[in-house]
Amino acid sequence: MITVLKSRNAKTGKVAASYRGKHSCPKTCAAYNSCYAKTGPVNIVFSRAEESKDDAAKISEFIASLPANYKMRHHTAGDLLNAKQKPDMPYINSLIGALKARLDLITWGYTHAWKSFERNPFKGIASVNFNASCDTFSEIKEAKQRGFDTVVIVPENATPGIYEGERVIICPAQMGKGEVTCDKCQLCSKKDRAYSIGFRLHGALKNRHQFEQGDVQEKLAA
């Protein structure tokens, strides 16, 4: 695990951030082979995080050291699994304990491994919101039933609206042309939302994603 007190990511803004190794990502993720974290500068940190050990101890120490009322994004790269593709319970329990001890913090993250949990293990902890990363709109209902707030991948030209019965708001950072950053927005940290946050496909990898979005494209063209 790699942790930083102030992220250099322009979209995220000046918040703390963590990176876990590539082994922690579910191989069932639709973006497993085309993830943004596997290219460019993020990939360098992603690879370093894979070589790091003792994630459970490191995350506990790092969260305890954060300034009062600080903000943090969990897993700029990486997820909640172990090398056997099972929930990494020593790490998860350490993370839960650290966050319960720091209820002054505002932290958020995303997990493609949400199907590995019958219930959101972070539900009810005021200092964190882990969002289920859904590959299709049809997954949103299931993720909500497991206690997760949700985000979903949408086509690059998607607009806010109702898709397959689900209300979707497009990420303000993508709508605001660089004027909005995560540390100012904080939508992903809000709990029990009545909507999902849509992330538009973007960048050099958008044509390599393996999502089946034909139904969405058809609706957008209607």
Confidence of residue 83 (pLDDT cuts 50, 70, 90): very high
3-state secondary structure of 105: coil
What is the signed CA dihedral for 169, 170, 175, 179, rounded to 10 degrees? 80
pTM of the shown model = 0.86
pLDDT (tens digit per residue) in 132-159: 999 889 999 999 999 999 999 888 888 9
Task: Return the percentage of the chain with pLDDT > 90, whole number.
Answer: 60
pLDDT for 105 equals 98
- Identity of the residue numbered 134: C
Is the pLDDT at 9 greater than 60, yes or no? yes
Residues 6 or more apart whose CB falls under 8 angstroms from that of 71 comprise 15, 16, 105, 106, 107, 183, 186, 189
pLDDT for 174 equals 83
pLDDT for 206 equals 52
pLDDT (tens digit per residue) in 209-222: 444 444 444 444 33
pLDDT for 208 equals 46
Confidence of residue 178 (pLDDT cuts 50, 70, 90): low
Sign of CA dihedral 20, 26, 29, 31: positive
| Neighbouring C-alpha atoms within 13 Å toward the C-beta of 154 | 27
**Contact, 131 vs 152, CB < 8 A?**
no
**Contact, 127 vs 99, CB < 8 A?**
yes
Average pLDDT value over all residues in the chain: 86
pLDDT for 37 equals 66
| Neighbouring C-alpha atoms within 13 Å toward the C-beta of 168 | 26
Mean pLDDT of 167-177: 86
**Where is average pLDDT lowest: 24-33, 84-93, 186-195?**
24-33
Dist. CA 120–CA 99, nearest whole Å? 15
pLDDT (tens digit per residue) in 182-191: 889 999 999 9
